Structure 1
């Protein structure tokens, strides 16, 4: 080993440092698209959020844990279906796709919708409102980042998702307002520090 090899080794980044770099780059791109979408939002911001980007590292960890939970039980295979409910610009769909899920997003805000379609494909993102979407039971992983800023609508939305998702599905529910899921016998929390549940009963 020569001196230049020693220099390279001592200057090497740890895995966490490498991930910080990668997530930093991803976040810069998300910020760029967010600045395009938010000023043009068609959402009613008195009750709904415009697109808000979830922390990329945390979203990745949530999806990775969902995948690992299924894999540990022999239930994971490439192509399991993952939906982002209110997918915004599609950043979560990209992460899920890289983890080998078959991804689909629903979004009603035209400003975010077109960006998401450009990123993941026209057929992967539907322009539809959650209140009229009837396909939640088709998915193995369901993801959302609180779409409503008004509590009554948010809690109604959460209960709708919990009622319609199928047994065996994984629910990643960021910034929930209704804490009743933790005492609901239909759901098992699978990550103590993260809002991830498996639906175990009807």
Structure 2
């Protein structure tokens, strides 16, 4: 079982969406991740939103002209995503078992984005496998952008993966670090408890 399932029971889609709707209603910017992605690849690029949740990032990218596919294991989150954008492809699958061909998806993405603490919330011991499967979905030269917390202040669960471990898993999967930031607004990484890493396949 993933740490996410342990945390939520797999039934938190509506609550999760409501929390972000409230933040948006208060004037908070909800599109930092999508802007970050748009700075990496041009409109029309194929984007895989790994751990897409309720679709907040992917829906915005689709509005900006990107060819997007979302994948998540949590049916309650996907139900919200499908309700908001039924025309977009939302796939239910475990990232540790992700097989694009088996889901009828071409494995030639220009960008894989993993926002929302995906890696610290995976089932323990599956991190390297997930990174390998996501890397395999990239076209040659494609990018993977992942942002996640590194300490208890930035996570809803105890920290479970360090940047050194993440980089090692990426290297093993054939990915090379391109850049690292402290936020999705591309502030330089300063050793803080949250990092956004960009690797190239």
Give the match for residue 133 of structure 1.
99
1:199 aligns with 2:186: no
Richer in strand (by share) = 2
CA distance in 2, matches of 1:156, 1:124: 23
Moved more, 176-185 or 146-155: 176-185
- Gaps of at least 5 residues in structure 2 are 150-160, 182-188, 190-194
CA distance in 1, matches of 2:198, 2:141: 10
* 1:171/1:59 CA distance change after superposition, 3 Å: farther
Q: CA deviation at 1:106?
A: 1.4
Richer in helix (by share) = 1
TM-score by length of 2: 0.58
Aligned residue pairs: how many? Answer: 152
- List per-residue Cα deviations over 1:40-62 (Å, max 9, x = no partner): xxx74279976668998787334
- List per-residue Cα deviations over 1:5-56 (Å, max 9, x = no partner): xxxxxxxxxxxxxxxxxxxxxxxxxxxxxxxxxxxxxx74279976668998
- Gaps of at least 5 residues in structure 1 are 1-42, 71-75
What RMSD in Å do the two structures reach over aligned CA positions? 3.6
1:67 aligns with 2:38: yes
CA distance in 2, matches of 1:154, 1:47: 19
Give the match for residue 51 of structure 2.
86
CA distance in 2, matches of 1:106, 1:114: 12
Question: Stretches of 4+ moved more than 4 A in 1?
Answer: 46-59
CA distance in 2, matches of 1:127, 1:85: 11
Larger Rg: 1
The question of whether the paired residues in 1 share the 8 Å contact of 2:111 and 2:142 is answered with yes
